[in-house]
Amino acid sequence: MSFDVICFDCDSTLSKIEGIDELAKRVGLGDELSKLTDAAMNGDVALEDVYAKRLNLIKPNRADIEWLSNLYISELVDGVEVVFSQLAQHNKTVHIISGGLLPAILPLAKRLNVPQSHVHAVDIYFDDNGAYLGYDIDSPLTKNGGKAVIIESLESHNVVMVGDGQTDLEAQKVGAKIIGFGGVISRDVVRENADFFVEENDIRKILTFDLI
């Protein structure tokens, strides 16, 4: 099975971290907030119920986001750069679709030669001093079903989504196939419902599904 458009989740798929949880740890709110993220990724609570709560407690500033953007890159999952260069060689269209924070993810995308217009994530706003002002509360990616909304907007009928969480599985609703990636966090709900599943911690394994 070959696909025209290959979409990737970011947190716990391209990078080993959950970005918002790392920000929470940085400000001393780690345990409480990472439980919320995990519950949302397992489908036990609605993403929209945890999204505002986490960010309004953390209030990340511009320096926090720069720190996080470096962490995303230093914690890259094994094989990611090989996968992206192979997909580019085969002229595949690649998108990153994430409920994470856009300015933290853009440097990782740049490193993987993914254009900014193919990075879908939640924007965040700062004042002139770099203090937190808020986030894009209208982004579909702050809610369950948001990844399906983005995939539908790509207007392709031959899409595969690679990710670790419940919010990635939701892309099935608009006809995308799902490759569950369990290399960082292996979730039962994803293993049971994805079209394919990777247990290995090296994402090059997805190339064995004849994506290209």
Residues belonging to the active site: 9, 11
CB of 163 to Mg ion, least distance (A): 5
Tokens at 51, concatenated: 């999204």
Distance CA 99, CA 122 (A): 6
- Return the number of the residue (127 or 192) whose C-beta is nearest Mg ion: 192
19 binding Mg ion? (CB under 5 A): no
Could you tell me which stretch among 7-15, 26-34, 55-63, 77-85 binds Mg ion (CB under 5 A)? 7-15
Specify whether the CB–CB gap between 207 and 3 falls below 8 A: no
| 64 touches Mg ion (CB under 5 A) | no
Residue choice 19, 165, 180, 182 for contact with Mg ion (CB under 5 A): 165
Does position 164 bind Mg ion by CB under 5 A? yes
Taking alpha carbons only, the member of 45, 39, 49 closest to residue 18 is 39
Contact 175, 4 (CB under 8 A): no
Q: Pattern 108-147, binding to Mg ion, x per CB under 5 A?
A: ----------------------------------------
Q: Write the CB contacts of 182 (distance below 8 Å, at least 6 apart in sequence).
A: 164, 190, 191, 197, 198, 199
Residues in the chain: 212
Instruction: For the CB of residue 13, give the shortest distance to Mg ion in the complex, in Å.
Output: 5
Considering only 5, 8, 9, 190, the residue that binds Mg ion (CB under 5 A) is 9
Closer residue to Mg ion (CB): 19 or 103:
19
Which residues does 71 contact at the CB level (< 8 Å), separation at least 6?
15, 17, 19, 22
Given the complex with Mg ion, which of 16 and 177 has the nearer CB atom? 16
